[in-house]
Amino acid sequence: MGDSLQKAFIGVIALAVSCIAIELVPVSRQATYWNRCLANTLVWVNQAPDLKGWEGKAKEALAVGVCNGAVYEPKLKTN
């Protein structure tokens, strides 16, 4: 009796771990996309001549805003 109950618990645990792994796939893809966006935006921000005087944290904050969709204006205002 105890052996069959233990096998049932192991089966339920295996099923739960499989379901969690399947649920994490879209989150992993979104994280990969966002990290790629951040890296590409930081390269663009570091090459922009108008932003040469900005600190690194300010440039990173701008890149995070762009990747999060918080920057709506097509032309960046630096003043």
- Cβ 48 vs Cβ 40: under 8 Å: no
CA distance 26 to 12: 23
* Segments making up each domain of the chain, as ranges: 25-79
Digit-coded pLDDT (tens) for 17-67: 999 999 999 999 999 999 999 999 999 988 888 888 888 899 999 899 989
- pLDDT tens column, 1-10: 668 889 999 9
Name which of 17, 36, 3 is nearest 44 in CA terms: 36
Q: Are 41 and 66 in contact (CB under 8 A)?
A: yes
Tell me the pTM: 0.68
Torsion over CA: 57, 68, 36, 46 (sign): negative
